[in-house]
Structure 1
Amino acid sequence: MTTFTSSLPDQLLQRLNDTAAKLKMPKNKLIEKALNIYLDQLNRAEYVSSYKLAGNDQDIMMIAEEGMAEYMTQVSDTDETR
C-alpha cells in the first residue's frame, strides 16, 4: 500500500474526525471507502452520459432497433418450440 499525503480544509477534516469517531473507523479507511464510492459514481455518470449520447445518435438507435427485432424473433421462435 502506498502512503498519500494531502491537505484538507479545517472544516472538512473536523467532519472526517467526527464521522470516523462515530463509526469507530480509522480515518484512512473512511477516506478509502468514500473515495471508492465517489469514483464509482463518476464512472456511472460517464456511462449515463454515453448512453444519452447514443440515444440521440440515429445510426446507433437504428442498429439497436434491428438487434431488438432479431431478439424478439428468436424469443418468439423459442416460445413456439416449447
Structure 2
Amino acid sequence: MTTFTSSLPDSLLQRLNDTAQKLKLPKNKLIEKALDIYLDQINRAEYVSSYKLAGQDQDTILIAEEGMVEYMTQLSDTDETR
C-alpha cells in the first residue's frame, strides 16, 4: 500500500474526525471507502453519458435495431422448435 499525503480544509478535516469517531473507523479507512464510492459514481455517470450519446447516434441506433430483429428471429425460431 502506498502512502498519500494531502491537505484538507479544517472544516472538512473536522467532519472527517467526527464521522470516523461516530463510525469507530480509522480516518484512512473512511477516506478509502468514501473515495471508492465517489470514483464508482463517476464511472457510472460516464457510463450513463455514453449510453445517452449512443442513443443520439443514428448508426448506433440502426445497429441496435438490426440486432433486435436478429434476436427476435432467434427467439421465434426457438419457440417453433419446442
The count of aligned residue pairs is 82
The answer to whether the aligner puts 1:15 opposite 2:15 as a matched pair is: yes
**TM-score (structure 2 length as normaliser):** 0.97
Question: What do the CA deviations read for 1:8-42 (whole angstroms, capped 9, x no partner)?
Answer: 01111111001110110000000001000000110
Q: Aligned-pair RMSD on alpha carbons?
A: 0.6
TM-aligned CA deviation for residue 80 of structure 1: 1.6
Stretches of 4+ aligned residues off by more than 2 angstroms? none
The answer to whether the aligner puts 1:73 opposite 2:61 as a matched pair is: no
Identity of aligned residues (%): 87
Structure 1 unmatched ranges of 5 or more: none
**Equivalent residues in 2 for 1:2-81, closer than 5 Å:** 2-81=2-81
**Mapped partners of 1:8, 1:79: distance in 2:** 62
**TM-score (structure 1 length as normaliser):** 0.97
